[in-house]
Amino acid sequence: MATDAYRFLLPLLALGGLSLFFGLPALAVALLLLAAFTAFFFRNPARRIPDEPGLVVSPADGKVVKISRADDGTQTLSIFLSIFNVHVNRSPIDGILEDLRYQRGKFKVAFDEEASRVNEQNILTIAGGDVRLVVKQVAGLIARRVLCWKKPGEPVRRGELIGLIRFGSRVDVIVPQGVRLRVGVGDRVRGGSSVIGECV
């Protein structure tokens, strides 16, 4: 379970226990159910990380909702995360976190095409070998907090935990021309274990 869960989980458990102590079983049950959902939301299951060289793995669990190509040949792959998906984010490649930029913005629903451009987000640039890619942690209507646990200059490993988005969101991956995508719109991916591209 992601450590950020405890700031929500411990108060809920404490209030649930107090409710039982003061003879309020209905409230206690509601609080304990909410605590159970919180633990479920912040879960961090073990993942088998592919070790074959040249692969790019998904930074998040969810569904691929859009793939677009820019004039410079880069491709953007957008992954929508519902509140039922795992919400920890992982590095797609081995490399260095070259840059981390926070962008203030709106809180449109995460599946809105404008969300990637106008919503609050963290923009991470990761460089490894001949590959430099961008991961965007995009806030949504419900997800209003994007967290990156790494600092610029720090090394990252493929599949390593790098952050979290709270309560439903979107993650965009912008890959350079030298990466061939291996997923399509509608595919479901798992952070750290699903291969979304390969260097060619």
pLDDT tens-digit profile of 37-80?
767 667 778 899 999 999 999 999 999 999 999 999 999 999 99
Q: How many separate domains does the chain show? A: 2
Judgement on whether residues 126 and 176 belong to the same structural domain of the protein: yes
Q: How far apart are the first and last CA of the chain?
A: 36
* Claim to verify: residue 77 and residue 148 sit in the same structural domain: yes
Predicted confidence (pLDDT) at residue 5 exceeds the cutoff of 60? no
Q: Is 91 a catalytic residue?
A: no
Q: Domain range spanning residue 7?
A: 3-41
| Residue 179 shares a structural domain with residue 144 | yes
Q: Do both 88 and 155 map to the same domain?
A: yes
In a domain, 48, yes or no: no
Position 109 pLDDT exceeds 70: no
Q: How many CA atoms lie within 13 A of 149 on its CB side?
A: 14
Reported pTM: 0.82
Q: What is the pLDDT of residues 167-200, one digit of tens each?
A: 668 899 999 998 999 999 999 999 999 999 999 8
Within a 13 Å sphere around the CA of 199, how many CA atoms are in the beta-carbon half? 14
The catalytic residue among 91, 169, 193, 194 is 169
Residue 27 has φ and ψ, to the nearest 5°, of: -65, -40
- Specify whether 31 is located in the same domain as 102: no
